[in-house]
Amino acid sequence: MIKCDLHTHSTASDGRYSPSEVVKKAFERGVKYLALTDHDTVSGIEEANAEAEKLDIHFIPGVELSTTYKGETVHILGYFKGDDYKNPDLNHFLEDLKTKRIERAHEIVRRLKKFNDIEIDVNDVLKNGKDTIARPHIAKAIMDAGYNYTKEYIFDNFIGDHCPAYVPANKLDAEFKPMADKLAASKKEIDDKIVASRKKVEAKIAALQKDAPRLRQAEIQKRQDEITKFGSDEEAALNKLMEEQDKKVAEFQELNEKRQTEERGKLLESIQVATNNLAKAKGYTYVLDANSVVFAVDGKDITEEVLKSIPATEKAAPAKTEEKK
């Protein structure tokens, strides 16, 4: 029997061991075929591959990408042939994901303080991760800060998918990405045309300057007029393209804002329904936004109870609510 492990993580993302240590651990357990599939990064592949060559392990470079499908988070494993993992477009994409993960960590840290009175330094979170910052790094920062919680408890109560501090992937990203990519490609095409147009005009001017000593003044003037007209026609055509591009961008932004408003409205409606149902079930007389209450006796925070009754696909962190019985 040949042992294979095609799904491993290292400290390049949320693993416990460095890429080379992962390979060594696999070797010790008799693994012959090994893939390193860190979350949203390929930065550990070189180190792992070098160690695999020393230990005569068949190494397969890979990656685990996060996306959403029908409102649910989905992780997709990908495997590379040869050095395809060095593809510039792929690495640019992964760098963008890295930035978004850091932004997400900042927001989770902010929400932990707001909703759970847990205060940690986001820099401690970033130190726990190498390239891909994930929730396990946040859990470790919480424990390192002296809070007496286990990793499992932190996920179940603070940063799990149904908790107030959880920051979900923006499902509108996938919806609007094709449109955004198309606009970006169109913008690049226009920029390339502008550069090409300038070069054409400059080439005509250079040719005229070269020919001028053997031309009569009338011929020089004629060619100057032709260059001027050519430049004006080119500029008019490019201006038309830029106006069309600006119009498409404005339409895209308007549609994006409209969809954001729609999704926000759905979320608020879900929160309202969940709050109403909870209030009826518990026999509450009033449910108030905690941010609007100056003072209350016998107040109870029901935020988590409300969140648990909202469908996971619509969940986000609303303002705290308090009941007054």
Listed by start position, the domains of the chain span 3-85, 92-159, 171-264, 269-324
Concatenating the DSSP letter of every residue in 260-291 gives: HHHHHHHHHHHHHHHHHHHHHHHT-SEEEEGG
pLDDT for the residue numbered 313: 45
Number of H helices, E strands in the chain: 9, 7
CB contact at 8 A, 23 and 53: no
CB contact at 8 A, 65 and 85: no
**3-85: CATH topology:** TIM Barrel (3.20.20)
Helix (H) or strand (E) holding 208: helix 171-211
| 54 SS3 class | helix
C-alpha to C-alpha distance for 9 and 23, rounded to whole angstroms: 11
Helices of type H across the chain: 19-28, 45-55, 88-116, 122-128, 135-144, 151-154, 171-211, 217-282, 303-308
Tens place of pLDDT per residue across the chain (325 aa): 899 999 999 999 888 899 999 999 999 999 999 999 999 999 999 999 999 999 999 999 999 998 777 666 788 999 999 999 999 989 988 888 888 888 888 989 988 988 888 999 999 998 887 778 889 999 999 999 999 999 999 998 889 877 778 876 555 455 666 777 788 788 889 989 999 999 999 999 999 999 999 999 999 999 999 999 999 999 999 999 999 988 888 887 788 778 767 766 776 777 788 788 888 888 887 777 665 555 666 667 766 666 666 554 444 444 444 443 3
pLDDT for the residue numbered 163: 79
Structure tokens at 123: 């820099």
pLDDT for the residue numbered 73: 72
C-alpha to C-alpha distance for 110 and 306, rounded to whole angstroms: 20
C-alpha to C-alpha distance for 37 and 64, rounded to whole angstroms: 5
